[in-house]
Amino acid sequence: MADPQSISQAINSRQTVDPEVSRAKFERELGNFKQVETHYRERGIILLRASFPDILLAFTAARMRPLMTVFAVKINFTNYDLEAPSVQFIDPLTEAPVKLNQLGSFMPRKAPGTGTAGQTQAAPNISYLIQAHQPHQIPFVCLPGVREYHHHPYHSNDPWFSHRRMGEGTLGFLIDQLHQYGTHPINGYCPQSFNVQQPAPGVVQVQSQGLIFTIDIASVPL
């Protein structure tokens, strides 16, 4: 099994564009972020570190107390904007890549069907923007404007250059998508599993393991 460092290198690009060009565009994106950083923080988005070519962010469930980190990302601007930025999910403490089963959100997306009379169904279909690289189960966001999306063979007919001048792939766009689909719909949590024991009369011990975030279906965007 490959170590996290080799996996990280496998899904990163090598800088071929003049580094100063990419750095200038990186600084522009970071500057735009810092102008509204207070607004992002109010939405539960926290800047962890920024140093070319990486910006690291933590996304929390802002409507919940106590506050919990749902996921963290490293947005990589190598070769920007000849290539789209990479969005890698990481451990917010070690910065190591995480696997699919370690994510707090699979980023649900509402895809309403229609009834026989053309009416929207009361219960919409839900798809997920999170997919995974095989065989290491490294998650990525399946969305135009994300490097992993455009490098995937299934999306060879949707090149980055079709989106490059449309605003997709900017830092603000990526943050908005991660928040809109990843953390905004979360309205609670429950234990993944728990064990109840009664070691003595009148004494009950409850042990829980893991958390599952619950979502408000009405808040899941299209």
pLDDT above 60 for 122: no
pLDDT above 60 for 159: yes
Tokens of 98: 């995480």
**3-state class (DSSP) for residue 101:** helix
pLDDT above 50 for 2: no
pLDDT above 80 for 117: no
pLDDT above 80 for 103: yes
Mean per-residue pLDDT, 127-142: 89
Which DSSP category does 165 fall into? T
Beta strands in 61-164 (DSSP E): 69-76, 86-90, 108-111, 125-128, 130-133, 138-141
Distance of CA 187 to the CA centre of its chain: 17
pTM higher than 0.95, yes or no? no
Residues present in the chain in total: 222
pLDDT above 70 for 208: no
Residue 59: closest CA among 163, 164, 173, 177:
177
Instruction: Provide the pLDDT for residue 92.
Output: 96
Q: Nearest-5° angle of CA 135, CA 100, CA 75? A: 100
pLDDT above 80 for 121: no
> What pLDDT, in 10s, does the model give residues 16-43?
889 999 999 999 999 999 999 999 999 9
Burial, 99: exposed, middle or buried (Cβ in 10 Å; 0-12, 13-18, 19+)? middle
Instruction: Provide the pLDDT for residue 206.
Output: 66
Residue 103: closest CA among 76, 127, 71, 78:
71
